[in-house]
Amino acid sequence: MKEQIQSADGKLGILIPGLGAVATTMIAGVIAVNKGLSQPIGSLTQMGSIRLGKRTENRYPLIREFVPLADLDQIAFGGWDIYTDNVFEAATHAKVLDAGLLHAIKPELEAIVPMKAVFDKSYVKNLDGKNVKKADTKYELAQAVMEDIQNFKEAHDCNRVVIVWCGSTEKYIEESAVHESIESFEEGLRNNDPAISPSMIYAYAALKLGVPFANGAPNLTCDIPAMIQLAKETETPIGGKDFKTGQTLMKTILAPGLSARALGIRGWFSTNILGNRDGLVLDDPDNFKTKEVSKLSVLDDILRPDINPALYGDLYHKVRINYYPPHGDNKESWDNIDIFGWLGYAMQIKINFLCRDSILAAPVVLDLALFMDLAKRANMTGIQEWLSFYFKSPQTAPGLRPEHDIFKQLIKLQNTLRHIMGEDLITHLGLDYYQDLVEAL
């Protein structure tokens, strides 16, 4: 398989619907790293290493030296937004990065100007922007996005393009008849079916062109049969949903640990306050519902109350998000966890996570873009479950339970890399060499 992976030479275009706080923090970060101003902390592709072979072999290359990934200085950035702000302006408004850092890379950021977006206010009530495409049908809008992608590719001399959705969270919708097949979806595009959201139009356009698409928001987007079929037909990687960055990241680190020790959990109350534009959008109940469903799913899948009713059968799980402007992008989350141990004795854990939303999300966007591009070059098409590591609500093959445990997700990601590079998979059993070491004493 290793020999069949196409080279990462040439330029990679990373196109982003939604040039807001997360996207601009990622773009500015990559440019700053390329200029030697900073380091890509939090990015597994850039900073992480991977063990190969037996522990006795001491082989721990950096992931970026092990698998062929696009180099950071071979990336061209672009995207769409409903506002006309260029990336310098948008990053300044987002107030995530220091003004000093942004000024050091101002010309590069100013050069990235958003293309006109596909937008429908009924999906994001709390936003209003003028930089929006106009057309009679959703089908025409999809064609216009395809043109944008092709024009960008030519203008920036890119060999390949990937798309990562960093747009706002859309209102909650469920899968319906129009999403069932490519035919019904295309019919729906022509008839302006209201159940086709803007993010689906971008995803459709990407998949038609064979451009990998990852979804960083909890929207349905590419998690519908029509998109799964289209991805298969055009041999394109897809993945989602919802970047796993803050409170849910902590949850999927902690819950596997408690469950590993067979400790019981009675209640898990999670609340957040944040004041960025994402918080404003999530202040609308229809948009919050999309996020809530995504955030709530993780505990059941990790703890499996159906298999462990005595430990987790009565677990009460509640998630709240409150818009609180004074905190801006510096989200604060509290978790109160009511656990119980030996003979049912009650204990508590409190977590106060003072995080920076976009600082945590930026490396996830970068890694997803680079790994989706690798998947495409390695001929891995359709749903990329090995990238579940990065998502709150990982897309899986229909009928399959998602894996939320971050440690199992990491093992799957690493073993996938070993597999495509022709290295032995690591089971952590070690029997084949452990005995030899003991006998050599």
Ligand X SMILES: NC(=O)c1ccc[n+]([C@@H]2O[C@H](COP(=O)([O-])OP(=O)(O)OC[C@H]3O[C@@H](n4cnc5c(N)ncnc54)[C@H](O)[C@@H]3O)[C@@H](O)[C@H]2O)c1
- Judged by the rule CB under 6 A, the positions of this chain that interact with ligand X are 17-23, 80-83, 94, 117-119, 124, 127, 129, 166-169, 198, 216-217, 242-243, 245-246, 276-278, 357-358, 360-361
Q: Which two tokens stand for residue 136?
A: 């009679």
Nearer to ligand X, 81 or 148 (CB): 81
- Identify the CA nearest to 34 among candidates 366, 429, 373: 366
Q: How far is the CB of 132 from ligand X (least distance, A)?
A: 8
The CB-nearest residue to ligand X is 20
Q: How far is the CB of 392 from ligand X (least distance, A)?
A: 7
Q: How far is the CB of 52 from ligand X (least distance, A)?
A: 31
Q: How far is the CB of 163 from ligand X (least distance, A)?
A: 11
Nearer to ligand X, 278 or 423 (CB): 278
- Identify the CA nearest to 161 among candidates 73, 71, 77: 77
Q: How far is the CB of 262 from ligand X (least distance, A)?
A: 31
**Residue 159: its H or E element:** strand 158-165
Q: How far is the CB of 37 from ligand X (least distance, A)?
A: 22
Q: Which two tokens stand for residue 23?
A: 């996207």
- Identify the CA nearest to 411 among candidates 392, 421, 396, 426: 426
How open is the CA angle 182-184-185, to the nearest 5 degrees?
A: 60
Nearer to ligand X, 195 or 315 (CB): 195
Secondary structure letter of residue 160 according to DSSP: E
Report the DSSP beta bridge partners of residue 334.
271, 352
Nearer to ligand X, 114 or 264 (CB): 114
With tokens 């229809």, the residue in question is 286
Between CA 348 and CA 62 the distance in angstroms is: 39
Nearer to ligand X, 80 or 371 (CB): 80
Between CA 137 and CA 366 the distance in angstroms is: 33
Nearer to ligand X, 165 or 268 (CB): 165
Q: How far is the CB of 372 from ligand X (least distance, A)?
A: 16
Nearer to ligand X, 66 or 323 (CB): 323
Between CA 130 and CA 122 the distance in angstroms is: 15
Q: How far is the CB of 323 from ligand X (least distance, A)?
A: 12
At residue 383, the 3 state secondary structure works out as: strand
Nearer to ligand X, 188 or 198 (CB): 198
Secondary structure letter of residue 402 according to DSSP: P
Q: Which residues of 377-408 are buried (b: 16+ CB within 10 A; e: fewer)?
A: bbebbbbbbbbbbbbbbbbeeeeeebbbbbee
